Amino acid sequence: MTESPDAPEPAADAPADLPVVRLKPKANARAIRRGFPWVFADELVTDRRTKALEPGTIAMLEDAERKTLGRVAVNPKSKIIARMIDTGGRGIPDHAWFVARLKRALDLRERLYDAPFYRLVHAEADGLPGVVIDRFGDVAVIQPNAAWADVLIEPLAEALAEVTGVTTILKNAGGRGRSLEGLDAEDMALRGAAPDAPLRVEMNGATYMADLTGGQKTGLFYDQRENQGFAARFARGQDVLDVFSHVGGFALAALANGAASALSVDGSAPALDLARQGAEASGVADRFDTRQGDAFDVLAELGEEKRRFGLIVCDPPAFAPAKPALEAGLRAYERVAKMSAPLVSPGGILVLCSCSHAADLAAFQGASLRGIGRAGRRAQLLYTGQAGPDHPLLPQLAESGYLKALVFRL
């Protein structure tokens, strides 16, 4: 009989000398009990013994009254000093533990998608804090953005190969979170050999080219898949502008769904080259063009050229990745809206996106509407999107809901 992916994880007894870490009396133990997965450095008693723990050590977390809260992975070098691994207090990240969590993650994705191209593990929301795994057919890319996952990367890779059958597993060490954890930036192949050419990924009727070794993040942004599909519904017969396009995410989906033309704008020449390869593979190269340059400069140039588009998408990098950058980030989002709105044909569609953790939906929507208003346009809000269901949210962790997509009709 096959084990259900939702079956309880096997319990494992901890070593007798498993270290104990303890919350300070004023720390919010109630939030931990209700599912918040992080303990910050100023919430934990950091005596010499705790400070001496090796990054990635598995420990037992207690509240100030010495009641067990669960097992955590500790990193004294990080502001997030402890990440919840198992709230039951018995599970430890051994082979069986990894297999159980990966099976549960895989079951969800196989219900969602017909082909094995998706985010397989989305960190805390999938019970693997700090771990991102994107799958590209027989290849998987792991971003271990927390010290514990770096320490246990080999058993994680072994379980990943067993559960999914992938033959190539790459470690991508380029995540911003790794530097915050005091980790290195060394990429490597954990199983098989890194592909020597971009891989083809089919989504929304288009073909994308994913560079797993030289591209951004793990090679392709799966999180916008549903938003790209929704925006493409407005593309038929329209001229489309995709700003901050990376490998042509919105542009190629629009062309696959009948756009008259699409122009991708990005500062990265390699990304635009991959976009052109995707257009060729999708059979839409005759309707596709690119322009390399600073997005704000290109928007200004297009305004001077009196260009108009029936669908414009602006999907910039995180302008407000952390709270100190919030005000400047919101001004940047307002500027994007102000500069792009005049280029939208009357009755056309403007899609504005944010992947900033620090800017919540209300703040981002407010900045977008201010920009649209300053451009002298009025808007209907048609749709509010987030990351696709292969990027599930952990409700107790606001940071897991990082992506926002607003679809306006002007």
Residue ranges per structural domain of the chain: 20-86, 95-191, 204-409
Q: Cα dihedral sign for 180, 140, 266, 202?
A: negative
Neighbours of 28 (CB within 10 A): 14
CATH homologous superfamily for 95-191?
RNA methyltransferase domain (HRMD) like (3.30.750.80)
Task: Report the CATH architecture of 204-409.
Answer: 3-Layer(aba) Sandwich (3.40)
Stretch (H or E) spanning 323: none
- Give the model's pLDDT for residue 89: 65
248/242 Cα distance (integer angstroms): 7
Please give the mean pLDDT across all residues of the chain.
93
- Give the model's pLDDT for residue 401: 84
Residue 270 has pLDDT above 90, yes or no: yes
- Select which of 203, 355, 405, 407 is catalytic: 355
Residue 384 has pLDDT above 70, yes or no: yes
Residue 165: both structure tokens together: 């059958």
C-alpha 390, offset from chain centre: 10
Residue 313: both structure tokens together: 């998408």
Q: What 3-state class would DSSP assign to 225? A: helix
Q: Is 355 a catalytic residue?
A: yes
Residue 347 has pLDDT above 90, yes or no: yes
- Give the model's pLDDT for residue 14: 46
C-alpha 106, offset from chain centre: 17
Residue 116: both structure tokens together: 């094995």
Which stretches does DSSP call E strand in 152-238?
168-171, 188-191, 199-203, 206-210
Q: Give the residue, 3 or 126, on which the prediction is more confident.
A: 126
Residue 174 has pLDDT above 60, yes or no: yes
- Give the model's pLDDT for residue 6: 44
Pick the CATH number of 20-86 from 3.40.50.300, 3.90.45.10, 2.30.130.10, 3.90.420.10: 2.30.130.10
Residue 15 has pLDDT above 70, yes or no: no
- Give the model's pLDDT for residue 365: 97
**What is the rounded average pLDDT of the residues 353-381?**
96
Residue with tokens 């396009």: 245
Phi, psi of 399, deg, nearest 5:
-65, -20
- Give the model's pLDDT for residue 399: 80
Can you spell out the DSSP letters for 339-372?
HHGGGEEEEEEEEEEE--SSS-HHHHHHHHHHHH
Residue 327 has pLDDT above 80, yes or no: yes
Residue 296: both structure tokens together: 């704000």
Q: Are 20-86 and 95-191 equal in CATH topology?
A: no
- Give the model's pLDDT for residue 209: 97
Percent of the chain with pLDDT over 70: 96
